[in-house]
Amino acid sequence: MKLLSDASEYALRATVWLSQRPGETHKLREIAEGTKATPGYLIKVLQSLARAGIFSTQRGSNGGFSLLRDPKTLTALEVINAVDPIQRIRTCPLGIESHGTCLCPMHRRIDDAMASIEQSFGDTTIAELIEENAQSRPLCDALMAPPATAEKPNA
């Protein structure tokens, strides 16, 4: 089971990747390679982020995408909501008429869990994702030199 859609995952990866390159403009192909994303699908995500005012886009040979918002104030939830908002339960997903808009205990707990996830993403800035002291950073491979070629084992 996936918590986030592919679109949301791509949006977060692209936003983190561009945040690690402040003030730079990058072409679709560069962003796709850096984020391990499919260019054909990624372009739709980048366009949604541009429409939401998170990215800027420029046409032409020197064009591409750049981060418009400050990673210190841009939240993960804003990025997610720009492409595929988290779905909350408003009525019984099973269509049980007696539930109406009053969720049963099971669906109430599911919705409460989704609210907690939504709150967590809303409290998390993109800068925090990059700066957090952890053993690995988001897209850390993109900032490191390419690995040396592996030696073939002796046959």
pLDDT score for 1: 55
Cβ atoms of 65 and 31 closer than 8 Å: yes
> Which of these, 30, 5, 6, 4, lies nearest to 18 by C-alpha position?
30
Q: Which pTM value belongs to this model?
A: 0.79
Distances (CA, A) of 118 to 57, 94, 104, 122, 127: 28, 23, 21, 6, 18
In whole angstroms, what is the distance from residue 2 CA to residue 18 CA?
Answer: 24
Over residues 114-134, the pLDDT tens digits come to: 999 999 999 999 999 988 665
User: How do the domains of the chain map onto residue ranges?
Assistant: 6-85+125-141
Cβ atoms of 49 and 83 closer than 8 Å: yes
pLDDT over 90 percentage in the chain: 60
The label of the residue with tokens 């002291």 reads: 133
pLDDT over 70 (residue 58): yes
The label of the residue with tokens 């070629």 reads: 149
The more confident residue out of 55 and 63 is 55
In whole angstroms, what is the distance from residue 58 CA to residue 20 CA?
Answer: 19
Over residues 20-54, the pLDDT tens digits come to: 999 999 999 999 999 999 999 999 999 999 999 99
* First-residue to last-residue Cα distance in the chain: 41
CATH architecture, range 6-85+125-141 = Orthogonal Bundle (1.10)
Q: Which residue type occupies 122?
A: G
